[in-house]
Amino acid sequence: MIKHEVVKSMGMFKASSAALVVKSPTKMLEWFEGTKDQQPVSAITPFSVPSLRPSFYGLALLMVITEEGVPVDMPVYQFLYDIPQSQLGGISFRHLATGTAPAFIGPERWTSVTLMAWLVEAMSGDTVDAFLQKRVFQAMSFGSTGDWEAPPVNSDNEEIHPFYIHATDLCNWGQLFLQRGRWNDEIIVPSNVFALIDDLHKENEHSKEVLGWTVTPYGYAVTDGSGSTCAIHSTHNGVAVRLLNGCRSDQKDSFADVFARWLQDAE
């Protein structure tokens, strides 16, 4: 059924596609179609999925504040000394993590992911990409995930600025969340970070989004405007990834729901 959904998008919109489905620890589906950059699509073909930035940057930020013992409701202006408090107002770490900060911040129209990146660097001494490489990506043997250029500064160039990831890395990223920070029996992300994520999900009355993940009846999912999706099914211990290149935004469809039904049928 999942393959049918990918094929439908591929056939209708001629979108290059990659799909992986894992029901831990078994890989249940691996499927690729089309070409990208004149090469056949494979498990390590990079796709740009900008909507994933909050998941990566946000996890890094929560790791930093839990290690430093910083309350999630503390205003972020206390750590961004070069920005006047008047421009940041009362925006807290909670606002950034739950997607409830203003869409555009300050006269330069900064976005939440920009503030996340600046905060990680200000508090840890590493850029957000370097922090993730040292603390997460190396342990998980990630490939080309992340920014190939400097992060976007404001809303004017965020959408056109790519965030690259391939199907294998994204499926493993979903597994990291499914296993609550564990990878190959090693704790990559401390358990108190995921305890904080749980609290944010429970307490977030204005939005069901935390670190870009939307709550679903079976777990969490993130879907990009291209239709690319990563879905986590907590009950059935599964992760599904679909990456699309060139699919229309109205074809986000119900891939995460299809994945859930497929896992249930496979029981």
**CATH for 254:** 3.40.710.10
pLDDT of residue 155: 47
Q: Is residue 128 part of a domain?
A: yes
On average, the pLDDT of the chain sits at: 83
Mean pLDDT calculated for residue range 192-213: 85
Helices (H) and strands (E) in the chain, counts: 11, 13
Question: Residue 199's domain spans which residues?
Answer: 2-34+47-265
pLDDT band at 31 (very low <50, low <70, confident <90, very high): confident
Bigger pLDDT: 41 or 34?
Answer: 41
What span, in angstroms and rounded, lies between the C-alpha atoms of 79 and 38? 45
In one-letter notation, the amino acid at residue 207 is S
Looking at the chain, the whole-number percentage of residues with pLDDT higher than 90 is: 44
What span, in angstroms and rounded, lies between the C-alpha atoms of 61 and 71? 12
Its pTM stands at 0.88
Which among 12, 1, 3, 5 has a CA at the least distance from the CA of 246?
12
- Is the pLDDT score of 36 beyond 90? no
Q: Is residue 40 part of a domain?
A: no
Model pLDDT for residues 111-136, shown as the tens digit of each residue:
999 999 999 999 999 999 999 999 99
Which among 219, 239, 191, 175 has a CA at the least distance from the CA of 19?
239
Model pLDDT for residues 82-119, shown as the tens digit of each residue:
999 999 999 999 999 999 999 899 998 999 999 999 99
Q: Is residue 41 part of a domain?
A: no
Q: Is residue 199 part of a domain?
A: yes
- Is the pLDDT score of 150 beyond 50? no
Number of domain units in the chain: 1
Q: Is residue 139 part of a domain?
A: yes
